[in-house]
Amino acid sequence: MALKATIYKAELQVSDLDRHHYETYALTVAKHPSETAERMMIRLMAFALYADEGLAFTRGLSTDSEPELWKMSPQGDIDLWVELGQPDEKRIRKACAKAGEVVIVGYGEHKTEPWWQKNREALSRCNNLTVIHLPMPQETDFEAMVRRTMPLQATIDDGTLWFTAGEATLHVQPTVLKPPA
C-alpha cells in the first residue's frame, strides 16, 4: 500500500515591499512521503516570493506534468510555472514552451552551482526563464519549523527574504543566476 501525503495548514502573511504586495494566504500543503521538511518549507518560501491571488500548489512530486507552483490565467493558460531544485533541461524547455514565465528555485549549497554550470548554456536561450538560488543557513533546522498548523510570515525588501516559522527566522538573499531576457 502506498504511503499518503501528510496535510499541513499554513497561514502565510506576505509583506512584499518590492512589489507592494501585502496579503495573508490560507494554504493547504500536501507533503509527499518522499519530500523533506526543507523542500516543503522552500516551496512555502517560493510561494511567498511569487505570491499572487492566482498562485497555487499543484500535485508536484505526484506528477511529472506539473511544477510545484503555478498561476493559471482565466482562459486556462499557464502564466507562471515554478519548479524547485535542479530539474532536467528537457523538462525546463517544455515548461518554457507551455508557460508565459518559468522560474527555477534552486536550493542545496552543493547542488545548485554544479547543476547551473552544466545547464547554463542551453538554458540561456529560454527567454521566459528565471533561475534563482536560495542559499540556506547551514544550521537551519527545518524539521523544528514544521507544524501541522503553521503561522508563517514572509517579508521581502530589496530582494531579501525574511521568513519566520514559529521561533525561527531565516534571512535569505536569493541569488539571480539567470534573469528573464
pLDDT, residue 60, reads 62
> Does pLDDT of 155 surpass 70?
yes
Three cell numbers, residue 76: 486556462
Closest C-alpha among 48, 96, 98 to residue 72: 98
| 39-74 confidence digits (pLDDT tens) | 999 999 999 999 999 999 997 655 667 899 999 999
User: DSSP assignment, residue 137?
Assistant: P
pLDDT, residue 2, reads 64
CATH number for the segment(s) 6-178 = 3.10.640.10
In angstroms, the CA 35 to CA 15 distance is 27
pLDDT, residue 166, reads 87
Q: If DSSP states are collapsed to H, E and C, what string results for 45-58?
A: HHHHHCCCCCEEEC
* Over residues 148-160, mean pLDDT: 97
Stated pTM of the model: 0.94
- Indicate the angle between helix axes 112-123 and 89-98, nearest 10 degrees: 50
> Does pLDDT of 15 surpass 60?
yes
On average, the pLDDT of the chain sits at 93
- Three-class SS of residue 155? strand
Rounded percentage of the chain residues whose pLDDT exceeds 70? 96
Range from 35-39, 104-108, 135-139, 175-179 carrying the lowest mean pLDDT? 135-139
* Over residues 95-112, mean pLDDT: 94
Q: Do residues 165 and 38 lie in contact, with contact meaning Cβ atoms separated by under 8 Å?
A: no
> Does pLDDT of 119 surpass 90?
yes
Confidence band, pLDDT 50/70/90 cuts, at residue 3: confident
> Does pLDDT of 19 surpass 90?
yes
pLDDT, residue 137, reads 83
Pairs from 113-117 (Cβ < 8 Å, separation ≥ 24): 115/86, 116/177
Q: What is the CA radius of gyration of the chain?
A: 16
* CB contact burial 9-43 (16+ within 10 A = b; e otherwise): ebebbbbbeeeeeeeebebebbbbeebeebbbbbb
